[in-house]
Amino acid sequence: MMTNVMTNPTSRQKILAYLSQHPAASAEEISLSLRVTAANIRHHLSILVADGRVRLIGMRPEQGRGRPVRVYSPGETILGDNLETLAGALLDILAEANPVGLPEATLQSLATRLVPTPSGVKGAHITRRLAAAIEQLALCGYQARWEAHAAAPRVIIEGCPYAAIVQKHPELCRVDAIILEQLLQGGSRQTARMEKNSRGLSFCQFELRIT
């Protein structure tokens, strides 16, 4: 018998356990295995995606004429490397040494190390710089895209790579802004932070000031 509710935290632990053995699964497949409704599984998956323990890796055509279904995989945070704990601890140490906030120079240095600026794009046309920036962000673990708007182009980052620690360390949002400024040789302003899009995925948005 299929139930309507899975209780926390065992519900998400069961989903993570399933994905560890089936690293490309849909909510429907998980629901059948765990004997819980797909709607309930999708609810828990949205939370797991937001905090980085699960990632959406694509869409799979459904059999017959149904809509394509979302396919999920374990996120980097559950693969055993413990990097988020380490990163959080290091940022805590830096914050303790700088109680009024991390110096801008420190954030700029961190941005440069996280996402190096590729050569050959300085002074290029804006669309070339945007394309190169998105490509470089992808190489460094970001799910990003850019959109043209009347006032200024925007970069949207989905699936924040620092989702598990960004609430405690909002300075990482400033690091992302600096990364964009360094990649695009211009300014940026964050206009959305960890909001939900129409697909229920978290995203951040930056408005660019570049010429």
> What confidence tens digit (pLDDT) does each residue in 78-94 have?
555 566 778 888 899 99
What CATH number should be reported for the domain holding residue 44? Answer: 1.10.10.10
71 lies in the same domain as 89? no
101 lies in the same domain as 191? yes
| Domains of the chain: total | 2
Q: What is the pLDDT of residue 204?
A: 92
Closest CA to 114 of 205, 175, 166: 175
55 lies in the same domain as 137? no
The pLDDT > 90 percentage for the chain reads: 32
Structural domain of residue 36, as residue ranges? 10-78
By three-state DSSP, how is residue 82 classified?
coil
Domain-ending residue, one of 78, 106, 133? 78
Please give the average per-residue pLDDT across 44-50, as a whole number: 88
Q: What is the pLDDT of residue 192?
A: 92
Q: What is the pLDDT of residue 154?
A: 94
195 in a domain, yes or no? yes
Domain-ending residue, one of 78, 111, 134? 78
Please give the average per-residue pLDDT across 147-176, as a whole number: 87
Q: Which residue has the higher pLDDT, 103 or 12?
A: 103
36 in a domain, yes or no? yes
Q: What is the pLDDT of residue 93?
A: 92
Cβ-Cβ contacts under 8 Å for 32 (sequence gap 6 or more)? none
Q: What is the pLDDT of residue 63?
A: 63
108 lies in the same domain as 66? no
4 in a domain, yes or no? no
Q: What is the pLDDT of residue 110?
A: 92
189 lies in the same domain as 88? yes
Q: Which residue has the higher pLDDT, 65 or 107?
A: 107
Q: What is the pLDDT of residue 62?
A: 67
38 lies in the same domain as 122? no
Cα torsion 20, 15, 200, 131 to 10°: value is: 0
Measured CA angle at 8 (ends 16, 198), to 5 deg = 70
pLDDT band, residue 117 (cuts 50/70/90): confident
111 lies in the same domain as 159? yes
Kindly state the helix (H) or strand (E) to which residue 158 belongs, with its residue range.
strand 154-158
Query: Does the pLDDT at position 4 exceed 60?
Result: no
pLDDT band, residue 2 (cuts 50/70/90): very low
Query: Does the pLDDT at position 107 exceed 60?
Result: yes
Which residue(s) pair with 202 in the sheet? Answer: 196
197 neighbors 178 (Cβ within 8 angstroms): no
1 in a domain, yes or no? no
96 in a domain, yes or no? yes
3 in a domain, yes or no? no
Domain-ending residue, one of 78, 113, 136? 78
50 lies in the same domain as 122? no
5 in a domain, yes or no? no
